[in-house]
Amino acid sequence: MIRTDDLFINGLKIYQDTEGFCFGTDSLLLAKFAFVKKTLAMCDLCTGTAVLPLLASAETLCEKIYGVEISPEIAALANRSVCFNGLGDKINIIEGDVRDIRNLLPGSKFDLVTVNPPYMPRGGGFLSCGKKTAARAETECSLADVCAAAAYLLKNRGRLCVVSRADRLSDLFDAMKKYGLEPKRLVTVQSKPENAPYIILCEAVAGASPGLIIEKPLVLDDGKTIWNYYDRK
């Protein structure tokens, strides 16, 4: 079933398929972690229903925002949201495979690449069948694939911002470094103060020198709304 959800900013709304993978807290945290006003050109890989591009239209100064999605059905739903919000001149949804990024978009043109990649490694455990599988597991692309695509898209000193499971951190760092993306900023996310982190937010910079800043942990069980979780100011 297709439903319409409110994004609670600039009157934006998004279409989602309740039988497919709907965005969650991790996507909203990534938006707050990644977006700064000075960003002018952005690409969101594995964009799904385009929640990140929609939010970027309100949270950044981006003149052009791209989203890349491999599923024709989900890409069509993302385009439906873009048109509904009157953002067709700013947001461009591309149906395609991030592994074929060189045939989809020009290289070295973006200030920011964001990605909420599949969390489960191939062969890493039980996978549900149906529309959610590709969004949850590396059946269509891996962390290495998205880092390779980001390295191609980013300008020198451009930023890649990723949300992933905490137990994939070493895999993520390996993939980033392999493609010349240096991890520079890390935030761990906990459901309660006494619990171990279960999500990480990481920013890497193309062509940067080593030096990682680990910021204060983010604890979600604090009575705040989602938009207060991460205060950039």
Token representation of residue 167: 């137990």
**Quick one: pLDDT at residue 166?**
96
Q: Which helix (DSSP H) or strand (DSSP E) does residue 182 occupy?
A: strand 181-190
Look up residue 186 and give its two tokens: 């890390």
pTM of the model: 0.89
Ranges of each domain in the chain: 25-228
DSSP character at residue 6: E
Superfamily of domain covering 25-228:
Vaccinia Virus protein VP39 (3.40.50.150)
Residue 93 · residue 69 · CB < 8 Å: yes
The token pair that represents 92 in the structure block: 């461009």
Count other Cβ atoms within 10 Å, centred on residue 150: 30
Determine the Cα–Cα distance for residues 183 and 173; give it in Å rounded to an integer.
7
Question: pLDDT tens digits, residue range 162-206?
Answer: 999 999 999 999 999 999 999 999 999 999 999 999 999 999 999
pLDDT of residue 165: 95
Low-confidence ranges of the chain (pLDDT < 50): 124-138, 225-227, 229-233
